[in-house]
Amino acid sequence: MDTREEAVKLYREMIPRLIECGSEIDEFYRRFRELRLVEDDLSFQGALLRVEHAFFMVVQSINILKENLKLLEVASKKKEIE
């Protein structure tokens, strides 16, 4: 069964959602960072910093997913997917 067209359709549906989700995550990241910068308690600053790092990791994962989805589209055009 050839799934190239369906894969490309899902890719095109997914990319705008990833961008939207990434923008929302970035906003939450910014808000947590602002809290950390004004926090006086060093141990709570550490907790906030770990949350910031987790947001960073999520964004990195989204970027990797976007890149692999783009490669999927390229591969489908070159008929490299079987």
| pLDDT tens digits along 5-28 | 898 899 999 999 999 998 999 999
Under a CB-based contact definition with an 8 Å cutoff, are residues 32 and 48 in contact? yes
Structure confidence at residue 3 (pLDDT): 86
Q: Break the chain into its structural domains and give their ranges.
A: 4-76
- Give, as one character, the DSSP assignment of residue 79: T
Task: Give the chain's radius of gyration (CA, Å).
Answer: 18
Give CA–CA dist 53/64, Å, rounded.
17
Give CA–CA dist 8/77, Å, rounded.
9
Structure confidence at residue 17 (pLDDT): 92
pTM given for the model = 0.75
pLDDT in tens, 24-38: 999 999 999 999 999
- Give, as one character, the DSSP assignment of residue 2: -
